[in-house]
Structures are given as structure tokens and as C-alpha cells.
Amino acid sequence: MTTTHFTEAHEMFRKSVRDFIEKEIRPNIEQWEEDELFPRWVFERAGELGIFAAHYPEEHGGAGGDYWYSIAKAQELPRTGAGGLPMALMVQSDMATPVVSDLGTPEQIELFLKPALRGEKIAALGVSEPGCGSDVAAMRTWARKEGDDYVINGSKTFITNGTRADFITLMLKTDPEAGHGGISIVTFPTDVKGFHVSKKLKKIGNWCSDTAELFFDDCRIPQRFLLGEEGQGFRYLMQNFQSERLIACASATAGAKLTLEEGIAYGRERVAFGKPIIKREVWQHKLVDLAIKLEAAEALTYRAADAYNTERYVDKVDVSFETTKLISMAKVFVGDVTSEVVDSVLQFHGGWGYIEDFRIARAWRDQRLFRIGGGTSEAMRYYIAKLMGL
Ligand SMILES: Cc1cc2nc3c(=O)[nH]c(=O)nc-3n(C[C@H](O)[C@H](O)[C@H](O)COP(=O)(O)OP(=O)(O)OC[C@H]3O[C@@H](n4cnc5c(N)ncnc54)[C@H](O)[C@@H]3O)c2cc1C
């Protein structure tokens, strides 16, 4: 697990995340999957332990660590045994909040970011809409100006943490006629009149996290809740997407490694035609290929994370096109490799792979989201082709 990027301090942090998961999460996860929601105290406890804040600046309530803290956390979270919980926690720490840290006013930092990092307020990221996901510029949720306020109308869907978020980092159009250039981002407190959770969506997997459809009916928020400049939201979102995609790659790769380990353990015990199935050369070669591909997926993720860390934490500049390309490549490759891992390990379990008694069934369901959420594999290839000048 260790690379030169992880110091002793990172490893201590990693251990604290692992202990939290083993002692406080694992004993409950089956129940929360059944309930299709984990309790709110998990956010509070994770905040208390500094899990969300490790890689944020101290003046924003963080611990001032670099990006490798976030990678270490993301690698531990799959030990929860269900994909929904890592997803919800990473929305809180790496998807809904980076742009608030980058662009928030002192008021927005106090009102939204700091309580989110402490786990006191739940954060969501509102980009996707019923009519558009990949094509962000086609969004229709919009804000008109009235006095010092924005009045917001529209809807969002697929929003993780959406049924109980205290605030949403919300993309909308401040100029509905414009494409990319009409998009802005606001911090949206959900206790505003006219805001409704219209539906909790039922999912194939990631059951213990909530995913919601949201409705905005003349919701009024002060214009000072704008993040950065009006009309620059698409550019900010593209920056924010990089941390979202990268952290998902780190977590998915680590999760697939666990799945492969569990598959190998199963194969040692399961006997067919007089010997353990792990002794069949056809399966040995398959498992070896998967292990090689996972190493490659991890190496590409680390290369992208190194570039991201250097730009964002050392040079303190925006993520470059070159790093965006690397992160997009990692998203595609990790998606393909981890899909192959869960599908092969399920096959290796035979009929038991299809039965909920074994963790592989859930891992297979949960992993399927990876090639869709945060940018589909096809959309990633589309961006990479553009970045390669094709
Ligand atoms: C469980 C879950 C949680 C989610 N959480 C969030 C969240 O918290 N916040 C949020 O904002 N969103 C969230 N999403 C939404 C997710 O990011 C979108 O589903 C995703 O970006 C794809 O958008 P779409 O569903 O509208 O698909 P579409 O954009 O309609 O795509 C449909 C198909 O067309 C393909 N396609 C689209 N564009 C191209 C192209 N240029 N070239 C080739 N093929 C293309 C796609 O690859 C896909 O196969 C979540 C989704 C799920 C399922």
C-alpha cells in the first residue's frame, strides 16, 4: 500500500480511518443497507475524527494536509463493505466542498464549509438534471435577480445526500440564453422556502446512501451566496470535477483490490472435481491478469494524483489540461478494470456469487455506478479526444 507519497503521518491518519470503519461502521453496515440509509451520526463522527478535513487549509477548518491524505482516506473507505457509504462521505469531503474552499467568501466558509468539514452540516453537489447530465451546458435550472436576491427555479436529479443535505453546491444558469458561459455556482441552504425533495430514487446498488430528485420553486437566496464570478461556473465545475473523479478512482481501485483478495480466499476453500478452484490454471491466469491490471490502475491513479497534488497543493494553481487528461484517463481505465474485476470474481463464486450472502453480490452492484457517475466513460473519452486534439 505504501508509496513514497505516504509518510508516517499519512499512515497514522489511514489507521484512524480504518479503526473508525472497523469499530463503528462494519458492525452496522448490513442493517443500514437494509434500511437504505445510514444514520446522520456517521457524518458527525467522521467530522469529529477529522476525516473530511485532513486535506483542507487550516484557515478553512482543515488540518492543512496535502492531497495524499484524501487518497489514503478514499482507499480505506471501501472497507465499510458497502459502496454507498464511501460515496456519501466523499461527496461531503471531495465533491461538494472543494469549490467552496476555493472560492467561498469568509461568510460562505463559516456558514457552509466549516460545518461540513466538522460533519455538522451535510453537503450535496447539484449538477445533474432530469434532462441532462453529461451535457452540463444544457442545464435548465436558473436564477433571476430580484433586489439583492437570486430567485431559483428548476430541478436536479441523482443528487447524492440529497434527501437530507443542509446545503447544496448548486449549478444553475444566471443567463439562461447562454450555454457554458451562462452557468454559475451558488451555495444553497435547503431550509429555503420553495425547496422540495420530490423523490428518493431507488437504485440498483449503493443502497445505504440516499439519491434524490430535487425541486426548486421560486427559491430565494442572497446573491452573496454566489461562488466566484457569475458566468464562470462551468470553468469552476471542471476544476471541481477533477477532485471528484480522482478520489473515486482511488476508492474504486482499492475496493476492487479487496474484492480480488476476497475472491482468492473463496477460491482456496471451494472444491470442485477434487481440488480447490484456485488450483485451476484457467482461473490462476485470470486472477493474475486482474491483479496486474489493478496495479496498473493504481499506478495511473497515483500518477494523476501526484500531478494534481503538485498543481493544487504545491504550486497552488488550477488543474492543467494535461492533468485533466490524466485524471480522465484514470477514470476510464479504472472503470474498465474494476468492472472486469467484480464481474470475474462474481463468476469465480459460481452460484454463490449471485446470492446476497456473499459480499461479491453487493460489490458487483455497487461498482456498476463507477462508469456512469461523475462523468460516464464515454463522456471521458469524448473529453480526452478533445484534449488530444483529435
Ligand atoms: C447513484 C448516482 C449518484 C449520483 N450522484 C450525483 C450527484 O451527487 N450530483 C450530481 O450532480 N449528479 C449525480 N449523479 C449523476 C451522474 O453524474 C450522471 O448520471 C452522469 O453524469 C451521466 O449523466 P446522465 O445520467 O444524464 O446521462 P446522459 O448524459 O444522458 O448519457 C446517456 C448516454 O449517452 C452517452 N453520452 C453522453 N454524452 C456523450 C458523448 N459526448 N459521447 C459519447 N457518449 C455520450 C453517455 O455515456 C451515456 O451512455 C449520480 C448518478 C447516480 C446514478
Residues 6+ apart with CB under 8 A from 3: 302
- Cβ(127) – ligand 1 distance below 6 Å: yes
* pLDDT tens for each residue of 341-359: 999 999 999 999 999 999 9
> Cβ(183) to ligand 1 under 6 A?
no
Question: Residue 160's beta-bridge partner residues?
Answer: 211
pLDDT in tens, 290-301: 999 999 999 999
pLDDT value, residue 143: 98
Contact status, residue 330 vs residue 246, Cβ threshold 8 Å: yes
Asked whether 253 and 298 are in contact (CB, 8 A), the reply is yes
The Cα 1–Cα 74 span in angstroms is 13
Q: What radius of gyration do the chain's Cα atoms show?
A: 21
The mean pLDDT of 159-180, rounded to a whole number, is: 96
DSSP string, 186-244: EEEETTSTTEEEEEEPP-SS-TTS-EEEEEEEEEEEEGGGEESSTT-HHHHHHHHHHHH
**What is the C-alpha separation between 281 and 252, in angstroms, rounded?**
27
pLDDT over threshold 80, residue 134? yes
Of the candidates 361, 319, 330, 324, the residue with the CA atom closest to the CA atom of residue 250 = 330
Q: Let me know if 244 is a catalytic residue.
A: yes
The amino acid occupying position 229 is: E
Residues 33, 129, 230, 244: which is the catalytic one? 244
Does the beta carbon of 86 lie inside 6 Å of ligand 1? no
Give the mean pLDDT of the chain: 97
Shortest-distance atom of ligand 1 to CA 375: 21
Q: For residue 378, which atom of ligand 1 is closest to its CA?
A: 47
Kindly tell me if the per-residue pLDDT of 212 is higher than 60. yes
Ligand 1 atom nearest residue 126's Cα:
11
pLDDT of residue 3: 55
Region 158-170 average pLDDT: 98
Cell 456512469 found at: 372
| Buried b / exposed e along 257-295 (16+ C-beta atoms within 10 A) | bbbbebbbebbeeeeeeeeebbeeeebeebbeebeebbe
Question: At a CB cut-off of 8 Å and minimum separation 6, what does 305 contact?
Answer: 5, 67, 68, 71, 246, 250
Residues 204-225 have a mean pLDDT of: 98
First to last CA, the chain: 36
pLDDT band at 179 (very low <50, low <70, confident <90, very high): confident
Question: Does ligand 1 lie within 6 Å of residue 104's CB atom?
Answer: no
Q: How far apart are CA 5 and CA 193, in angstroms?
A: 47
Three-state secondary structure call for residue 183: strand
State yes or no: pLDDT of 2 exceeds 70: no
> 1: pLDDT confidence band, cut at 50, 70 and 90?
very low
Does residue 319 carry a pLDDT above 60?
yes
Once rounded to an integer, what is the mean pLDDT over residues 309-336?
97
Share of the chain above pLDDT 70, in %: 99
Looking at ligand 1, which residue's alpha carbon is closest to its atom 12?
128
Residue with cell 453480490: 361
Q: DSSP of 97-158, one letter per residue? A: SHHHHHH--HHHIIIIIHHHHTTSS-EEEE--BTTBSS-GGG---EEEEETTEEEEEEEEEE
Query: The whole model's pTM is what?
Result: 0.96
What does the pLDDT average to over 104-112? 98
